[in-house]
Each structure stands twice: as structure tokens, then as C-alpha cells.
Amino acid sequence: MKNSKRLDAVQIPIIPFIGQLCRMHPGTISFGQGIAFYGPPQEAFQHVQNCLTDESINRYGPVEGIPELQQALIHKLKEVNQIEIDDSNAVIVTAGSNMAFNTAILAITDPNDEVILPLPYYFNHEMSLTMERCNPIFVPCNEFFHLDIEKIKDAITEKTKAIVTISPNNPSGTVYTQQELLEINQLCKEHNIYHISDEAYEDFYYDQHQHFSCASYKNTHQHTISLFSFSKGYGFAGWRIGYMVIPEHLLSAVKKIQDTILISPPIISQHAAIGALSADTSYLQDKRKKMSIKRELVLEKLKGLPCLKTEPTSEGAFYTLLNLDLKQGDLQLAQTLVEKYGVATIPGSAFGINDGCYLRLSYGALSNVDISLGLDRIKNGLLP
């Protein structure tokens, strides 16, 4: 008996692999998986508590999400993202933004269609495209991990169905400028393709950088698919709730996909999300402030590391990507750091970077003490 040939082409998930290494080496400090150091606000738990006697939580719900959450999201999108929901677009609640991406790909592509992924990509995006028998087209960013608009333009063919952007970015921590994003969005409009805008890290941006949602701009609704998540800003990773804003003409296709794969998003998690959205804005501001302190600690501790080709940055999200002047393969290096130095990272090759030695550091889940200790271990492992 053999498994599906299309799955043979899908890369082995790197997060479980590194996680297993960590379990084999107790005491490892992990800069691996991208999660926040905190859980949901108390309002989320209170709202769940209040609805426990409502029998609807034990049943299937609407494929697009329960009306109460729909209304809360419409309000949030208008107030925070300046995205108006009207007859031209729709909100769909999903089981996380990973599912939203996969749903979008199913809705807009056929086998052998092309989707442009700027490098470095988010590995689950590339894996999803491969599973759906699409062809991911990789376009390098510039040395600062910002978009190379001309290279992306040159990569568009008659088979292209979408261009994907992630801002704030996983894995680089880059925040694309409003101009960059609007130029990509305009390219999509001109070529009659979709702009898939992954905004899972919208709540984390630092210094002068700001998050921008392309769907807030005029005449973008027909070709823009925006993806959002509760996992990061609200600490909802285990609750599996995300949502997407799609053009109205995709609604029928997306409902078919949701009904087949999910039936409906988890009802109890949707009630938790309603509660989270009712929390005061100071909740997210406080988390961004604390994450900013972690980010400053990471960047300060990495200064002067001899093997760095470029100075690490982190404009948003909770990642930095190290470009190392080393001959060693990054996967082997990541394994060595766990086995000999007790610290976990993610190799850049998992994100499609194969022209050097890169390591992604995720500092979102760690205490400041563990960040400092973990970076000392990394530095010891990278010194000659």
C-alpha cells in the first residue's frame, strides 16, 4: 500500500521535527514555534462561561460563523483595519488562518496553476500549494527582506492566480510598507489575479513601522483576500479561530469548502473570540509593549556576533532571521544547537532560503530570562 504521490512532494513539517529534538534533550530553550507568551484575555473565558448552558454550543453552526461573531468582526475590521464589509465582500470564520489560506487556494485555483510566494515564504503556505497540486513560484526579496516589485512583476504568467504577502512577516519579521503592498495589489488588479494578504501578525509592529490592510483601499475588494488570526494577538493558538475577508463572488465556493472540510468553526471557540474582541484596547497595547521589550533584548544581545553577515532586524511579528557567514548547512546547525547547546531554532531552508545559512528565532513565547540565556547558548554554539 502506498500513500498519495502528491504528499511525497510535501516537505516534512519542521516544527514537529524540532519539537521532537527538544523533547529528546530536556532543558532545551526553544526559539522554535511561533506562539505568544500569554493566553486569551479574561473576557474570552467569561463569555465562554456565560454560554455554557446554551445548547447551541453542542451543535453545528453556520459555515461562515455565528452571527454574533460575524457582527463583532465587521465592527473590528471597520475600526481597526478600515475595511468596510458590504455587498462586495464577506467575512468567513475559519479554524485558524492556516485553514483560511488553504480554503482560499481551493477556491481560486486548479491543478498546475501558479501562485507567487516571495522568499522567504511561510512553510505552511508552500506545503498547502503543493498538496493542492499548484505550482508555487518563488521570488526573492531584497537583502532587507522587503518585496522586489519588479521581480514579482516579471514572475507573473498566464497561469498565475495569486500573489501572497505576509506582513508583518513570518519568518523575517519585516513589515511591508503601505506603498509596497499597494503596488502588489495594483499588479493583481491589472493582471486579474488575487492578492492574498496574510495579516496574522497585525498586532505586532515596532518603532516607526505600521500595519496596513490593502482591503481598506478603494477598488480592492474584488481581487483581495485578507487572512486574520486570533492565535497571535489574543493568545488563541489552541482555540483554532481565524477569519478571512473575501470577494463576494467567492462566497459560494468558500461555503462549499467549509461545509465539506469543517462543517462549521468550533462554536465554543467562536464565543471565546467574541469575548476577546470585547476586551479593552489596552490588552493588545500591553502585549505589544511587552513583546517590544523582548525584541529589543534579542537585537541587543545579537550585536557584534562575528558570524553575522548582516545586522538582524525585527520590524514586526516576533521573529528575527539570522544570516550567518557559515559553511555548515542550516538544518545540521539547528540540530547541533539543540543536541550540544540546548537551544532550538528553525533553519532558513524550511522557508525556502537555500542560498546560505539562515536561522529563524521566535522570541514570542519566552520569558526575558530565557531569551537572555538562550541567546548566550546560541552565541556559544556559533562562535568558532
Report the distance separating Cα 261 and Cα 251, nearest Å.
15
Distances in Å between the Cα of 362 and the Cα atoms of 7, 31, 167, 170, 177 are 28, 5, 16, 9, 22
Judgement on whether residues 240 and 309 belong to the same structural domain of the protein: no
**What is the predicted pLDDT for the residue at 169?**
98
Judgement on whether residues 36 and 46 belong to the same structural domain of the protein: no
Judgement on whether residues 184 and 300 belong to the same structural domain of the protein: no
Which of left, alpha, beta for 43 (phi over 0: left; psi -120 to 50: alpha)?
alpha
Judgement on whether residues 13 and 70 belong to the same structural domain of the protein: no
Residue ranges making up the domain that contains 117 = 42-277
**What is the predicted pLDDT for the residue at 119?**
97
Which residues are 225's β-sheet partners?
196
Judgement on whether residues 36 and 139 belong to the same structural domain of the protein: no
Judgement on whether residues 293 and 187 belong to the same structural domain of the protein: no
Distances in Å between the Cα of 383 and the Cα atoms of 335, 341, 377, 379 are 16, 12, 10, 6
Judgement on whether residues 241 and 135 belong to the same structural domain of the protein: yes
Judgement on whether residues 230 and 297 belong to the same structural domain of the protein: no
Place of cell 463576494: 248
Label the pairing between strands 135-140 and 224-229: unpaired
Run means of pLDDT, 10 residues per run, the chain, 384 residues: 83 92 96 95 96 92 97 98 97 97 98 97 96 97 95 98 98 97 98 98 97 96 97 96 98 97 96 97 96 98 94 96 94 97 97 95 98 97 87
- Tally of domains within the chain: 2
Specify the CATH number for the domain of residue 354. 3.90.1150.10
**What is the predicted pLDDT for the residue at 2?**
78
Q: Which of 104, 195, 184, 102 is nearest to 149 (CA)?
A: 184
Torsion angle, CA of 172/138/184/83, rounded to 10 degrees? -60
Nearest 5°: the CA angle 265, 270, 272 is 145
CA 266 to chain CA centroid, Å, is: 20
Place of cell 531584497: 142
Judgement on whether residues 125 and 268 belong to the same structural domain of the protein: yes
Last residue of a domain, one of 230, 255, 277: 277
Report the distance separating Cα 356 and Cα 353, nearest Å.
7
Place of cell 505552511: 124
Q: Which of 72, 167, 185 is nearest to 122 (CA)?
A: 167
Specify the CATH number for the domain of residue 53. 3.40.640.10
**What is the predicted pLDDT for the residue at 5?**
81
Judgement on whether residues 293 and 243 belong to the same structural domain of the protein: no
| pLDDT tens, position by position, 22-80 | 999 999 999 999 999 999 999 999 999 999 999 999 999 999 999 999 999 999 999 99
Last residue of a domain, one of 277, 306, 326: 277
Judgement on whether residues 72 and 215 belong to the same structural domain of the protein: yes
Last residue of a domain, one of 212, 247, 277: 277
φ, ψ for residue 362, nearest 5 deg: -110, 115
Q: What ranges in the chain are assigned the alpha helix state H?
A: 5-8, 14-24, 42-50, 67-76, 97-108, 123-131, 149-155, 178-191, 251-261, 267-277, 282-302, 330-341, 368-382
| pLDDT tens, position by position, 255-308 | 999 999 999 999 999 999 999 999 999 999 999 999 999 999 999 999 989 999
- What's the pTM value of the predicted model, to 2 decimals? 0.96
Report the distance separating Cα 120 and Cα 126, nearest Å.
10
Judgement on whether residues 141 and 290 belong to the same structural domain of the protein: no
Distances in Å between the Cα of 266 and the Cα atoms of 64, 95, 96 are 11, 7, 11
